[in-house]
């Protein structure tokens, strides 16, 4: 009361005073949150993280553009063709059908926004300035849809040149009709032809000078009300009859683009024949989302240039969300971003997770704390154990030595990654053509099994090698050629490439030497292909072959087994699991549990956890209880929840209240129960009622009319 | 011009319902006092097979300065020339008129605006207040018409008048007697595809003059379609082409516009043997043999808009008969995320199986069910004939958990998949009350679709068994034959 500020006013009233405590600012920027007392290089990590995120973003955009280029170009071609040329042939009267492109985008709705953005940009740059895109939720009625279209078109016209402000003022009045749009279109196209004389020249060929098409993009076709769509198409149609009779008001070259998530037959389901007969529909397919994911995966995860890595479990979580839940590449990239943020936040040593030179530099200047952290890394400890005792002592005591070793280890880690990916690709190209895909169809599956465990100890690898051992010569040569291509493009592992090419040369040279042998071999391999589907037969022939090999092997077989040995040795050398690499924790984010908890949330489980174990969220010592007992210290809601678990489908409110009171009174007065028994004060009653209504709010119970004084349970199980 | 001598024209009969004494049967030669004769003649030439309607209309209108009947209701099927005839009269005779398409008029204000600006110029229309009421319109109209009284009858032509029923309920009765209200020589002409009985408001109203435009007969269609013959071929050839075309399409489609479109699309194919020199123009039979299968194929594809007309033409250019175009409904397959597929399957099972049978299908140890009375009588009729039934979310999830092999956590994304299935219209939500507690859904995909999905999802044979079971129960599946529907819709059963 003492702090009432004085005013100069003599009258009574309300006065506004700005609080003086605003000067204290919390943090400067986002980076400030990372600066902590215990954390000296938080801002560095934040910087690295941001830089990495930028590369991720640019990369994904580039990938999307590349993959979408084909379909977008063909769309633009379609619009150009229909917008400029087609209506010239009067006899055919094509004009009465509105050209429509059905763009199939797949069910991954979150990814569509980016496609539409690039489509809009492309069309505006190369075809027509009049592009409108509408969302279903903005257009619940035809009126709103027309308004939206007019707003976007005319608004754009105004932004182009300022003299048209009076037009928008006119729009403010009731003039939300297509005829108003036609008027506007006429004036604008006239201006356009004045502004761009070169455009008019190109247009003089066709007899319609003003034929820049108006493109309307329906972003989510399925969600539109079909009546709205029908009306809009009817209004926008370019009818022979209306063309003649409504004079030329009606001439507006509309082109529709339907963004369809399901299948083209959705058009036929939404529109009756009388309306769909006004459209000239062509179907365009955009890229499939799995293909998109594969290229993102190649670029961001199977890339030694990108220092941040994911462990196998994390990859499984992210890919699982993609395949099982949403098919959305955007969400996958968001998941990647989240794991990056989480990694750089929780792992102080992640400051070493950057490009090689930078990492080496910061390894030189590690602080004492961070050196200690390195010593505690499990992978580093494993490394120390393998060293000589003398070296071990040095590593554990001498900070400078640790820094040097750390640099060496970082170099090794980078080298490991550099070699890992080409070899992985080689192995994938060798095994991806095998029947039944023993090592997985996609390279990501192979990658996951490689970084998880020793690949060569798995059964799948054995069976893959078995299958490789029976490859025919030409198949083997083709596969090896592919490997050589991959290695050539990376420009490392030159000695491996040398050896590979040597093998290829020897295989080819074999041709002339042993034609009679290869003929026998050809029959064998022919038979093999014939029986490929039958696994039992295959096994038998393999066994046969095994026994025969002991007898005699022709030069091809000898060479082939050499090749397989060589590949096996490569796998054993380069495709070691990442967890075995010292200092892998710096680059690898491995807490899949956190990721799953954050990205694939289970709201009901968390509500139930909160209600049955309040300690989990409240962290109050008094709430720690054994399972099965109901403590009176817990919040009322928890007590009520636990009691209701013991009931059937219908719950008697009075019994429930009794049980509640028993729990409440159990703790406070065990000995004075004689007078309290059977009575309750209104406070407890009120608390009970409140808790019950909260339960209703959370959706566990609802009132029922089947029985008086009862409520119905909405969940099942539990007791 | 194409001479119609070879084609017999059936005598047309006018069907005027009310008041019959007003109209007398007229000779085809038009003679209306007050209008220039040569314009009338050219008008009659431009409107083939509609001479009687034209004459009747002109008789109804009377001389330009005479008061006309307050409202005329013209009805007839799509593409029977209603608006064409009316608007041609207006244009050629240069009568003052306002033509309004009611689909465009999302509010009655727009209608008023268009009428006023057509009669009195945009300045008059600008005087309308922001949300004009009917009385605003009448007041403004009176004011304007007192300044410039009508020397000729003014006509307001309302196309697709059936949309008027969705507008303000007082609008239609008021427009029907607008002549009285504004005290001006004005006639409202309503054009619609449906009969007047569906319009009549229950409070009653002024009965307009009803005037029917009958469908074109086959001979008339031939005559009209022969109009736009190709300049480089003789009209006789084009007429025989039209005859062949109608022989194929007349049974499914009598829409003039559609026929005209098809005629244009397929003509180049018809002329192919002529251009190659394989046949002469007189070889009608040969030409027929060439075009007939082609037209049959067109009926299944381009007529149903399974293939766009441009693609159809390109296919003709390419000359490759073997390459079948990928039609729209051929891409019925949809890639869905793994759990979405199972959700959809579960929804299908919940929609088409009675809830009582869930215990039997989805519980491992269900009790014994007597086979004889397993299904009640009304359940023995095919559930597919009855359509999908709504089911609560709980039931969907229960079936979902029992159908999916692995354990699935009830994550938020599983539930969000349900709502995205709803936006994709693979499921539909039923009812709007009680959305929080127990929303209800229906499955809106066909059996074929579900079978395709389950085939690519399930390794487990059990699921296929389930679907097979539901098939056995629901004996017969009605296939949705789209062409059948189109034929039905062409009959205009309203």
What are the per-10-residue average pLDDT scores of chain A (719 residues)?
Answer: 57 68 52 56 84 92 89 88 56 62 87 89 86 89 86 64 43 62 78 52 41 86 90 74 43 85 85 84 86 90 88 92 90 92 88 86 86 89 89 87 90 90 89 84 89 87 88 85 86 83 84 47 44 68 70 77 89 88 89 88 86 85 72 86 88 91 74 52 89 90 86 71
Residue, of A155 and B332, whose pLDDT is higher: A155
Model pLDDT, residue A258: 93
Model pLDDT, residue B378: 60
**A272 interfacial to chain B (CB closer than 8 Å):** yes
CB atoms near residue A170 (< 10 Å): 16
Report how far residue B219's alpha carbon sits from residue B243's, in angstroms, rounded to the nearest whole number: 9
Residue of B nearest to A271 (CA): B305
**B308 interfacial to chain A (CB closer than 8 Å):** yes
Facing residue for A263 by CB, picked from B128, B257, B332: B332
CA distance B230 to chain A (A): 8
| Average of per-residue pLDDT values in chain A | 79
A 620-649 → B contacts, CB under 8 A: none
Model pLDDT, residue A168: 47
**A114 interfacial to chain B (CB closer than 8 Å):** no
Facing residue for B264 by CB, picked from A93, A106, A176: A93
- Kindly report the pTM of this predicted structure: 0.79
A 169-188 → B contacts, CB under 8 A: 173-179
CA quadruple A578, A579, A580, A583: dihedral positive or negative? positive
φ/ψ (deg, to 5) at A686: -65, -40
Determine, for residues A262 and B113 on separate chains, whether the beta-carbon distance falls below 8 Å.
no
**B101 interfacial to chain A (CB closer than 8 Å):** yes
- Band of the pLDDT at B14, cuts 50, 70, 90? very low
Facing residue for A143 by CB, picked from B107, B335, B425: B107
Residue, of B483 and A61, whose pLDDT is higher: A61
**A109 interfacial to chain B (CB closer than 8 Å):** yes
pLDDT in tens, B104-152: 888 888 889 889 988 888 888 888 887 888 999 999 999 888 888 888 8
Model pLDDT, residue B369: 55
Chain B hits for A231, Cβ within 8 Å = 103
Residue of B nearest to A262 (CA): B334
3-class SS string, chain B: CCCCCCCCCCCCCCCEEECCCCCCCCCCCCCCCCCCHHHHHHHHHHCCCCHHHHHHHHHHHCCCCCCCCCEEEEECCCCCCHHHHHHHHHHHCCCCEEEEECCCCCCHHHHHHHHHHHHHCHHHHHCCCCCCCHHHHHHHHHHHHHHCCCCCCEEEEEECHHHHHHCCCCHHHHHHCHHHHHCCCEEEEEEECCCHHHCCCCCCCCCCEEEECCCCCHHHHHHHHHHHCCCCCCHHHHHHHHHHHHHHHCCCCCCHHHHHHHHHHHHHHHHHHHHHCCCCCCCHHHHHHHHHHHHHHHHHCCCCCCCCHHHHHHHHHHCCCCCCCCCHHHCCCCCCCHHHHHHHHHHHHHHHCCHHHHHHHHCCCCCCCCCCCCCCHHHHCCHHHHCCCCEEHHHHHHHHHHHCCCCCCCCHHHHHHHHHHHHCCCEEEECCCCCCCCCEEEECCCHHHHHHHHHHHCCCHHHHHHHHHHHHHCCCCCCCCHHHHHHHHHCCCC
Model pLDDT, residue A200: 39
Q: Which helix (H) or strand (E) holds A589?
A: strand A588-589
Facing residue for A174 by CB, picked from B84, B110, B489: B110
CA distance A237 to chain B (A): 11
pLDDT at B192 over 90: yes
**A140 interfacial to chain B (CB closer than 8 Å):** no
ipTM of the complex: 0.82
Chain B hits for A235, Cβ within 8 Å = 101, 103-104
Facing residue for B413 by CB, picked from A244, A600, A605: A600
Facing residue for A281 by CB, picked from B308, B339, B486: B308
CA distance A341 to chain B (A): 22
Determine, for residues B424 and A262 on separate chains, whether the beta-carbon distance falls below 8 Å.
yes
Chain A hits for B423, Cβ within 8 Å = 109, 220, 222-223
Determine, for residues A602 and B331 on separate chains, whether the beta-carbon distance falls below 8 Å.
no
pLDDT in tens, B419-458: 899 988 899 988 766 656 678 899 988 888 888 887 777 5
- Band of the pLDDT at B313, cuts 50, 70, 90? confident
Reference B214, options B29, B470, B14, B435; nearest CA is B14
Determine, for residues B110 and A234 on separate chains, whether the beta-carbon distance falls below 8 Å.
no
Can you read off the two tokens belonging to residue B253?
């489609």
pLDDT in tens, B150-174: 888 899 999 889 888 888 888 899 9
Facing residue for B103 by CB, picked from A231, A262, A279: A231
Model pLDDT, residue A649: 85
- Band of the pLDDT at B283, cuts 50, 70, 90? confident
- Band of the pLDDT at B480, cuts 50, 70, 90? very low
Determine, for residues B410 and A282 on separate chains, whether the beta-carbon distance falls below 8 Å.
no
Determine, for residues A699 and B339 on separate chains, whether the beta-carbon distance falls below 8 Å.
no
Report how far residue B162's alpha carbon sits from residue B194's, in angstroms, rounded to the nearest whole number: 7
Model pLDDT, residue B305: 73
Tell me the average pLDDT across B464-487. Answer: 46
């Amino acid at each position: 009361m003492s702090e009432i500020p004085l005013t100069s006013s003599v009258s009574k009233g309300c006065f506004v005073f700005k609080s003086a405590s605003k000067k204290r600012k919390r943090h400067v920027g986002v980076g400030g949150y990372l600066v902590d007392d215990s954390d000296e290089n938080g801002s560095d990590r934040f910087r690295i993280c941001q830089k990495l995120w930028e590369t991720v973003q640019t990369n994904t955009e580039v990938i999307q553009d590349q993959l979408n280029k084909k379909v977008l170009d063909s769309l633009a071609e379609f619009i150009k063709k229909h917008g400029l040329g087609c209506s010239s042939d009067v006899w055919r009267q094509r004009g009465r059908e509105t050209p429509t492109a059905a763009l199939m985008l797949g069910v991954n709705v979150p990814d569509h926004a980016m496609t539409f953005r690039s489509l809009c940009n492309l069309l505006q740059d190369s075809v027509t300035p009049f592009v409108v895109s509408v969302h279903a939720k903005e257009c619940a009625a035809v009126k709103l849809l027309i308004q939206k279209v007019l707003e976007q078109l005319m608004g754009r016209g105004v932004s182009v040149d300022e003299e048209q402000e009076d037009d928008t003022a006119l729009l403010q009045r009731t003039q939300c009709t297509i005829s108003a749009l036609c008027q506007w279109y006429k004036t604008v196209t006239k201006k356009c032809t004045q502004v761009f004389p070169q455009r008019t020249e190109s247009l003089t060929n066709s007899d319609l000078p003003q034929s820049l098409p108006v493109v309307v993009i329906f972003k989510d076709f399925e969600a539109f009300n079909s009546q709205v769509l029908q009306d809009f198409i009817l209004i926008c149609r370019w009818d022979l009859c209306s063309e003649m009779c409504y004079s030329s008001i009606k001439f507006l070259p509309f082109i529709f683009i339907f963004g369809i998530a399901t299948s083209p037959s959705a058009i036929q389901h939404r529109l009756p024949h009388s309306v769909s007969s006004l459209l000239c529909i062509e179907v365009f397919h955009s890229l499939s989302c799995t293909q998109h994911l594969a290229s993102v995966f190649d670029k961001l995860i199977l890339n030694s240039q990108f220092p941040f890595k994911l462990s196998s479990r994390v990859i499984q979580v992210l890919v699982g969300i993609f395949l099982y839940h949403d098919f959305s590449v955007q969400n996958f990239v968001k998941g990647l971003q989240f794991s990056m943020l989480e990694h750089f936040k929780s792992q102080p040593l992640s400051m070493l997770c950057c490009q090689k030179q930078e990492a080496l530099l910061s390894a030189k200047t590690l602080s004492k704390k961070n050196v200690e952290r390195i010593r505690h890394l499990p992978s580093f400890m494993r490394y120390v154990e393998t060293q000589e005792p003398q070296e071990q002592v040095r590593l554990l005591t001498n900070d400078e030595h640790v820094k040097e070793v750390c640099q060496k280890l970082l170099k090794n880690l980078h080298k490991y990654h550099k070699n890992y990916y080409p070899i992985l690709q080689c192995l994938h190209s060798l095994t991806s053509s095998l029947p039944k895909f023993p090592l997985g169809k996609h390279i990501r599956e192979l990658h996951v099994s490689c970084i998880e465990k020793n690949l060569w100890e798995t059964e799948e690898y054995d069976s893959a090698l078995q299958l490789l051992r029976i490859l025919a010569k030409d198949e083997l040569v083709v596969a090896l050629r592919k490997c050589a291509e991959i290695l050539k493009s990376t420009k490392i592992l030159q000695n491996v490439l040398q050896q590979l090419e040597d093998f290829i040369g020897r295989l080819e040279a074999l041709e002339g030497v042993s034609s009679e042998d290869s003929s026998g071999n050809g029959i064998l391999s022919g038979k093999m292909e014939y029986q490929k589907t039958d696994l039992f037969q295959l096994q038998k022939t393999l066994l046969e072959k095994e026994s025969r090999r002991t007898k005699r092997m022709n030069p091809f077989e000898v060479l082939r087994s050499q090749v397989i040995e060589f590949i096996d040795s490569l796998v054993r050398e380069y495709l070691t699991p990442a967890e075995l690499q010292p200092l892998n924790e710096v680059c690898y984010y491995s807490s899949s549990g956190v990721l799953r908890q954050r990205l694939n949330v289970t709201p009901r489980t968390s509500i139930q956890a909160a209600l049955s174990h309040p300690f989990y969220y409240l962290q109050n010592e008094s709430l720690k209880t054994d399972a099965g007992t109901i403590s009176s210290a817990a919040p009322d809601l928890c007590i009520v929840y636990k009691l209701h678990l013991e009931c059937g489908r219908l719950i008697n409110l009075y019994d429930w209240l009794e049980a509640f009171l028993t729990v409440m009174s159990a703790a406070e007065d065990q000995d004075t129960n004689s007078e309290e028994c059977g009575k309750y004060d209104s406070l407890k009653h009120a608390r009970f009622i409140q808790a019950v209504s909260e339960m209703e709010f959370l959706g566990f119970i609802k009132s029922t009319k089947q029985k008086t004084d009862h409520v119905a349970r909405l969940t099942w199980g539990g007791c | 011009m194409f001479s119609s001598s070879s084609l017999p024209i059936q005598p047309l009969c006018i069907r005027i319902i009310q008041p019959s004494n007003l109209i007398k049967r007229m000779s085809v030669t038009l003679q209306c006092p007050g209008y220039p004769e040569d314009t009338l003649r050219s008008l009659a030439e431009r409107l083939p097979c509609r001479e009687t309607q034209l004459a009747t209309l002109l008789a109804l209108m009377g001389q330009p300065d005479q008061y006309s009947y307050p409202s005329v209701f013209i009805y007839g099927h799509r593409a029977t020339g209603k608006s064409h005839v009316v608007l041609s009269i207006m244009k050629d005779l240069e009568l003052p008129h306002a033509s309004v398409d009611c689909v465009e008029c999302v509010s009655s204000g727009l209608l008023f605006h268009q009428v006023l600006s057509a009669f009195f110029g945009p300045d008059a229309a600008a005087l309308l207040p922001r949300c004009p009421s009917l009385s605003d319109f009448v007041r403004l109209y009176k004011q304007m018409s007192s300044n410039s009284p009508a020397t000729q009858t003014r006509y307001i032509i309302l196309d697709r008048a059936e949309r008027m029923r969705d507008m303000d309920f007082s609008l239609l009765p008021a427009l029907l007697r607008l002549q009285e209200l504004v005290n001006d020589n004005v006639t409202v002409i309503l054009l619609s595809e449906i009969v007047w009985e569906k319009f009549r408001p229950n409070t009653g109203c002024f009965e307009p003059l009803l005037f029917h435009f009958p469908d074109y007969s086959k001979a008339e269609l031939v005559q009209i379609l022969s109009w736009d013959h190709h300049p480089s071929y003789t009209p006789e050839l084009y007429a025989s082409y039209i005859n062949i075309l109608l022989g194929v399409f007349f049974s499914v489609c009598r829409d003039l516009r559609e026929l005209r479109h098809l005629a244009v699309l397929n003509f180049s194919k018809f002329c192919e043997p002529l251009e190659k020199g394989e046949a002469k123009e007189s070889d009608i039979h040969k030409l027929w043999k060439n075009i007939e299968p082609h037209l049959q194929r067109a009926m299944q594809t381009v007529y149903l808009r399974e293939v766009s007309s441009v693609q159809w033409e390109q296919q003709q250019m390419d000359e490759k008969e073997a390459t079948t175009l990928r039609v729209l409904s051929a891409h019925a397959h949809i890639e869905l995320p793994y759990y979405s597929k199972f959700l959809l399957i579960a929804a299908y099972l919940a929609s088409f199986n009675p809830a009582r049978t869930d215990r039997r299908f989805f519980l491992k140890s269900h009790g014994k069910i007597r086979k004889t009375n397993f299904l009640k009588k009304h359940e023995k009729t095919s559930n597919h004939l009855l359509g999908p039934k709504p089911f609560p979310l709980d039931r969907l999830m229960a079936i979902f958990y029992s159908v999916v092999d692995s354990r699935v956590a009830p994550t938020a994304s599983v539930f969000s998949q349900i709502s995205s299935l709803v936006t994709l219209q693979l499921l539909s939500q039923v009812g709007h009350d009680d959305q929080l507690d127990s929303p209800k859904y229906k499955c809106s995909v066909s059996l074929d679709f579900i079978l395709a999905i389950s085939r690519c999802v399930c390794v487990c044979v059990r699921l296929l068994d389930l679907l097979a079971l539901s098939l056995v129960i629901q004996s017969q599946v009605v296939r949705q034959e789209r062409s059948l529907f189109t034929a039905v819709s062409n009959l205009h059963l309203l």
